[in-house]
Every structure is written in structure tokens, then in C-alpha cells.
Amino acid sequence: MVTRKPKQTADHFIKALNPKDADTKYFGEEPYFPVQLEGSDRKVALVRGFTWYNRFYGKKDARELLAQYLDHNARTTEAKLLRKVEEKEFSLTLAWLSRMTLRGLELTEHEETTLENEIARLNKIIQKPEIVKVEVKESNRPNVQEILREKAKDVAGELEGVFDEWITQGKVSTKTVDLVSKYNVMPQHIPLIVDAWKKKQTEFDSVAEGDDKELSEAYAHLGKIKLRNTVKFIEQVLSDLNSYISIKKASKAPRKRKAVPIEKIVAKLKYLKQFKDATTKLDLISVHPTKVHGASEAWVYDTAKRKLHHYIADEYSKAFTVKGNTLLGFDTTKSEVKTLRKPGEQIKEVMGSKPAARKYFSDIKAVSTTPNGRFNESMIILKAF
């Protein structure tokens, strides 16, 4: 456990932490910096330090270590406030960095600025006026729903650890769907996890766009490429969470019912049967919606808006399903919508072979957006397979 009041040794370094773990014989003692390294040697030493702390300590310890850093620098008021902030708000990397300074590391000007910005951000959280909540007498015995919600919160905490692993190592050892499946989280509780990751997505989008100066400075150490990859990583986690809902619902054993004909399943799907346009010289006939249900790839053209939709099934569902007027089971990170400038020429290219169509579509210089899966009377189904 992390002690509340760190003590200095005779050589002015804070006394080393002593995690009660057998792995210390492989990872060694807590890092210390009696000599200041430079260049690549310093980077290697920092990586080793981050790895050591990540192995033996977590969010709760990160909060205490950062508070100790403030105590040591005679900033006890800030330290007291910091200890009231929720564990999930803390950045492990910056907490470990603050601890290393107490073990002799001298920060660069950029690192010191980033650390101070993080402390300022955390102080702002606790200084916000608290919402007064009406106390409700709770039963000592949790009900089933509360237990299941706690499972979702446990997964949310595990995913935070996966995110920290991504930030520090650039890769993860656990897939999102595997982790959520391990805890058997109910589909209706997945939004609890999704909300937290959408906030994370908004924060990192803001950093990428440079809208918030303080956030940009706080994450400047990641670099542009790592930041861009982190945004993609968050998008993939959100996509995996949505896929898990589809998998869970599909795997649920329903009561035995009479098989519903595909014609009845797609009966409410709105689409355009035929489209002729003299200006663009287009003469299109839609394939029947029954071809879409169960397919893994589809091309749909919105004749009113000149938008071409390319749907690709996600790797977990493997195939589309039609529900009412909506297409489900597509990968939100791979499926795209683009506006066509010359639909007469461009659709002919798309109607060719599968690989050629995909390459041609990816080369179209137009803003790419994510489809929502809903159909209308102006959309014609070009291909589904």
C-alpha cells in the first residue's frame, strides 16, 4: 500500500515503495534517478519506470502518489483537494511521472507544464459545485439489477486499464468483446460503458482539433500520430461494444417460434425499385431486399442526395439483419457514405468486381461519413452479397 506521508532518505530520495508481490524479483525495486540521463537513454529509463508502476499499482495508488508529490512540495491544500477526486479521473502516466521526481528525476520544461496542467484540471473537477442529492434509504440486500450494473462498472474499470495499456505500450493484450463477454454484461447495461467512452471520444476529438488549449497541452506528450491512433482506438472500442449488443441478442435463446419468411422480415424496408435519369444516363433496377438480409456487404445509392452507401458487416455478426426500415449488424468503422459528383460514371465502376469496386470507392475524393442504416423511398439497392 502507498503510505500517506513519504519519508526522505539520507541521500534526499523518497524511500522506495515496497509492493508485496513475488514479481519484484523480476521487475526489481522502484526506479530511482541518481544521475540525469539524456536522449534515448532517458526515454528507455522512463519506459522502464512506467512499466514498473503499471505492474504493481493502479488508479487508487496514482491518486495518492500525485497527492504525495504535492505534499512534498508544500502544496498541502491542493493535495487535500486532490484526494477527493474520483480515481477514474487520474492519468496513470502523469501520476507515475510525479512519483519519479521524488526519486530524483528532473522534469523537462514540457513535462513540468503538462503535469501542472493535469493538476489544475483535477482541481477544477473537485471545485465544481456539487449537486445536492436526496438521500434514499437503500436496502442492505442488493437486487439483481444492481448486481448486474456493478458488473458493467467492473468492466468499465477494466477497460480503463486497457486504455492505459494502450497509452503506455501502444498495444493491448485483451479484446473489448472478450472482456465484456467474460463478465457476461447484459446488453441493456452496455450504454453505461458506452457513455464513458463517448466522453473520452469527445475529449480526444477536442485535443485533435486543438479546441481546448489546456487539454492540448496535457496530451501534447502523445504526439500527433499517437493521438490520431488513440482516436481510432476509442472508435474501435465503441464499435466493439455495439457489436457485443448484437451478439448477445442474437445468442439469447428465444422461445421456439415458427420461422418467419425473409419476405415478411424485409416487408417494411423502404426502397426504390427502379431509377431512370436522362441527365446522368442512369438506368438502375434495385435488387430485392431479401438479398440484403443475411448478406455481408451491400451497395445502396440515394438517388435524391446522390450519396453512395457502402455497408460492411462487422466481424462478430458476420451478416446483416433487417429490422423494420433499418439495416443492423454493419461495422460503423468500415462502412461509409460518400457524395458522388458524377454518379453516371462512378456507379458503373462500383457495379464491377468486388475488389475493384472497393478500391474505386476508397479513392473517391469526398467527405466520408458513417451511415445510420435507415432506408427511404429514394434509395436503390445496387448490390448485396
Give pLDDT, residue 6. 44
Could you give phi then psi for residue 238, rounded to 5 degrees? -65, -40
- Best CA proximity match to 248, nearest among 141, 324, 377, 148: 148
CA 157, 158, 160, 165 dihedral sign is positive
How far is 374 from 198, CA to CA, in rounded Å?
22
Torsion sign (Cα): 215, 219, 224, 226: negative
- Spatial distance between the Cα atoms of 50 and 168, rounded to a whole number of angstroms: 7
Q: Residue 1's pLDDT is what?
A: 42
The domains of the chain are located at: 24-127, 144-251, 262-384
How confident is the model at residue 4, as a pLDDT?
A: 41
Give this prediction's pTM: 0.40
The pLDDT score that the predictor gives to residue 3 is: 42
**CB distance 175 to 233 below 8 Å:** no
* Distances in whole angstroms, Cα of residue 162 to Cα of each of 122, 194, 360, 369: 22, 15, 36, 28
Q: Which residues contact 343 (CB under 8 A, 6 or more apart)?
A: 280, 282, 301, 306, 308
d(CA 205, CA 228): 9
Number of Cβ atoms within 10 Å of the Cβ of 300: 24
CA distances 341 to 113, 307, 349, Å, are: 48, 9, 13
pLDDT < 50 regions, the chain:
1-12, 130-132
pLDDT at 15: 84
The pLDDT value recorded for residue 41 is: 87
